[in-house]
Copies of this chain bind each other. A is one copy, B any other.
Amino acid sequence: MRVLALLDGTLADPDAPLIRIDDLGLVRGDGIFETILVVDGKPRELGPHLDRLERSAAMLDLPAPDRAGYERAAKAVLDNWSGSAEMALKLVMTRGVEGGDGTPTGFALGLEISPKVLAQRAEGIAAVTLDRGIEPGLAERAPWLLLGAKSLSYAVNMAALREAERRGAAEVVFTTSGGSVLEGPTSTLIAVRGRTLTTPPATLGILPGTTQAVLFQAAEQAGWTVVVEPIAAEDLFTADAVLLVSSVRSITRVHTLDGRALPDSTALHAELHALYESQY
């Protein structure tokens, strides 16, 4: 099942053409998006997701997103959903048509979560490390590279996932050329060692994770230590758990990295997943 709504709250047919061929989102990947998990009709972290949409808009010099419009569209999708208990809610904003009056294109789309993602949540995944070609300091020095913006220009993220598949894996851990961990193409990385959770800093040029933020808050309250600092890729092989987290995949554990089996993190994963779910 799929439900599509526009920012005025009206529904549209997701199988019918809606976008012009000169929309800058299409011809230049010039736009931004967010994907939100909805469980039993309740969107998770809608506010933080809209905040991040605003930050992405600012990084791309887009007008501020029509927050009321996205909330209206999200509500229309939720009100008209009769699919599974869990839904992926995608919010999209583009720069609008080329040479137009600057009115952005915007919509909200409710989607079923793919069986593949549901299986990965339960069983974990194999991942490979791939060089993302960015070095510490670059994101701050060169903001026009849009590192850390959630833009529609995701061809590289998709190409990395295809490369992972070619190597017999399902996911990617991007690294700097110097071997420091960044993020997944559509997820945040968390390494667990003892009772400490570590994630790399957003200043490296990666997306601040909404799911990571919730998990860190919950873990801290439960007595865990949470740290935001660079992680050497080498250290992932000896971590007690390596997690890739995102709204739709939730907390997913990496069981194999670059073809090497990682220490069994089944129990740790279950504990942290329960901690995350306790927030809702």
Residues of chain A whose beta carbon lies under 8 Å from any beta carbon of chain B: 2, 4, 14-31, 33, 59-61, 90, 92, 94, 107, 109, 130-135, 138, 141-146, 149, 151-160, 162-163, 177
Contacts and interface: CB of A to CB of B under 8 A. Distances in A.
Given A130-B144, A155-B151, A19 B20 contact: yes
B21 A92 contact: yes
Nearest to A26: B26
Among A14, A28, A130, A146, residue most surrounded by chain B Cβ atoms (within 10 Å): A28
B152 A156 contact: no
Contact of A134 (B133, B154, B157): B133
Copies assembled: 2
Contacts of A155: 28-31, 60, 146, 149, 151-153
Contact of A20 (B15, B24, B144, B157): B15
A29 B33 CA distance: 12
A24 B161 CA distance: 14
A159 B144 contact: yes
A138 to B, nearest CB: 5
A22 B138 contact: no
Contacts of A177: 135, 138
